Amino acid sequence: MTLTPYRPGALLLALSASLLPLIAASAPAAALADPVPRPHRHQHTADEITGFLTAFYGTHGPSAPDRSRRISQQLKDKQAHTPDTDVLLCAPGTPKAITVGPATVAQAAGVGWATVTTVWDSGVLDTFTAYVRLDSRPITLDDVICAG
């Protein structure tokens, strides 16, 4: 008489494969769904981002309170490592004027951005891109990428 070695893994696999269709067919769809419903999270719109950036940058650059409360930790760290340049304006000093273009939103990436243009006393125009995470609460400036 030949004895087959006992293999609990194979038995469990065979049983689960044959029972899974029965369990799935008998369970209501709601029971298989996430048991804790998640509230819908607001995603910032392009208009909200444009409005935020326009208010944040103002005419001559962000205010001291906005610099401390309305930017990401990433930008605070970036500024700490780049003391000779204002990372929020991509240059040292205070611009003569600032304009914010219309924001673009990429829902799949969870980010929105707009081009910001600064005019300096010398007459030089500079542009950079300001980024906002769509789910930030409250809305905050997440990153700035300088053009040059």
CATH number of the domain bearing residue 131: 3.10.450
pLDDT digits (tens, 9 = 90+) for 21-65: 544 444 444 444 445 544 557 899 999 999 999 999 999 999 999
In a domain, 12, yes or no: no
pLDDT digits (tens, 9 = 90+) for 124-148: 999 999 999 999 999 999 999 998 6
HEC-encoded secondary structure of the chain:
CCCCCCCHHHHHHHHHHHHHHHHHHHCCHHHHCCCCCCCCCCCCCHHHHHHHHHHHHCCCCCCHHHHHHCECHHHHHHHHHCCCCECCCCECCCCCEEEECCCEEECCCCEEEEEEEEECCCCCEEEEEEEEECCCCCCCECEEEECC
CA–CA distance, 93 with 120 (Å, rounded to integer):
9
Write the Ramachandran bin of 129: left for phi over 0, alpha for psi from -120 to 50, otherwise beta: beta
The count of domains in the chain is: 1
3-state secondary structure of 35: coil
In a domain, 77, yes or no: yes
Tell me which amino acid residue 71 is.
I
In a domain, 113, yes or no: yes
0.85 cut: is pTM over it? no
CB 141, CB 79: distance < 8 Å? no
In a domain, 89, yes or no: yes
In a domain, 30, yes or no: no
In a domain, 19, yes or no: no
In a domain, 16, yes or no: no
Structural domain span for residue 116: 46-146
Question: Which band of pLDDT confidence, cut at 50, 70 and 90, is reported for residue 73?
Answer: very high
Greatest Cα pair distance, the chain, in angstroms, is 99
